[in-house]
Amino acid sequence: MKKHFLLILSTLFVLSSCAKDKKDVVITVKTSFGDMKVILFEETPLHKANFIKLAEEGQYDSTVFHRIIKEFMVQGGNVDEKNGTNSNNTIAAEIVDGFYHHKGALAAARQGDRVNPEKASSWCQFYIVHGKTFTEAELTVDQRKLNQAISQLMQYESHAEIRNQFMELQNKQDYEAMNQLALQYVDLAEKELNVTLKKEIAPERLKLYTEIGGSPHLDGAYTVFGKVVEGLDIVDKIAAVETGRADRPTEPIHLTVTVERLSKKKITKLYGYEYPE
């Protein structure tokens, strides 16, 4: 009986060790600015398998980052453009609660809700979030409702000064300053218009976007299926390039994608990525 018990313990130990040593892939996105190392999430298996397949087939090689918006994202992987094709293939959405659009998040591009209410992803195009950091006020106030409330306040003669402040900034086309000014009048708008403008936000999400930054308005709308674990500075460099029409870089930024298989234990050691239990 004792031997059987020891055998069971030994088997469990071996199985546990095998699980820890199970391999995963590390994606390397190579550019003229340097390399980015990316981990793909197991919780989004369709997107993970598709990305690995395209990378191993060399489909992404010689594609470009064709759309770049600083403080938002860098988008690439348009295999159709490279091949001169026009595929309508998509991947079913795998939007996971808690996978946020923080800086360095890898997500799938897609068509808009009007023609794509299921939020299905492009079969090849992806983007890496650049984003920016936000204040707590920016994240805990419903900006759309606030803008409507400010418009109402500006109609009152008693708030002519508020109207003048916004008109001056609008003439300068300083929209960021207008947003910050609007946040100063949240309490006033709530009191005078009897509206609720503040909203709840999960503490972890608040911490993420105030400290690391990203593009929070994309959360829940696009599939996030990986993250950059090394080379965030490369995202900064790509996001800073000069762009022209349709946010396309004036000089092409080609990319190559390779796949390497390593033990999860080694991936954690090299890149600090902790796998979920």
Q: What interhelical angle do 143-153 and 175-183 show, nearest 10?
A: 80
CATH code for residues 24-134+202-260: 2.40.100.10
- Are residues 238 and 252 in contact, defined by beta-carbon separation less than 8 angstroms? no
The answer to whether the pTM exceeds 0.85 is yes
Question: What pLDDT score does 12 carry?
Answer: 46
Cα 213 from Cα 132, distance rounded (Å): 5
Question: What pLDDT score does 16 carry?
Answer: 47
Cα 193 from Cα 195, distance rounded (Å): 6
Cα 37 from Cα 259, distance rounded (Å): 10
User: Phi then psi for 256, rounded to 5 degrees?
Assistant: -130, 140
Helix (H, G, I), strand (E, B) or coil at 38: strand
Give the length of the chain.
277
DSSP type of residue 9: H
Cα 125 from Cα 199, distance rounded (Å): 33
- Are residues 63 and 99 in contact, defined by beta-carbon separation less than 8 angstroms? no
Could you tell me the residue ranges of all domains in the chain?
A: 24-134+202-260, 141-193
Task: For the chain, 277 residues long, give each residue's pLDDT as a single digit of tens.
Answer: 444 444 444 444 444 444 556 999 999 999 999 999 999 999 999 999 999 999 999 999 999 999 999 999 999 999 999 999 998 899 999 999 999 999 999 999 999 999 999 999 999 999 999 999 999 999 999 989 999 999 999 999 999 999 999 999 999 999 989 999 999 999 999 999 999 999 999 999 999 999 999 999 999 999 999 999 999 999 999 999 999 999 999 999 999 999 999 999 999 999 999 998 8
Helix (H, G, I), strand (E, B) or coil at 274: coil
Question: What pLDDT score does 277 carry?
Answer: 80
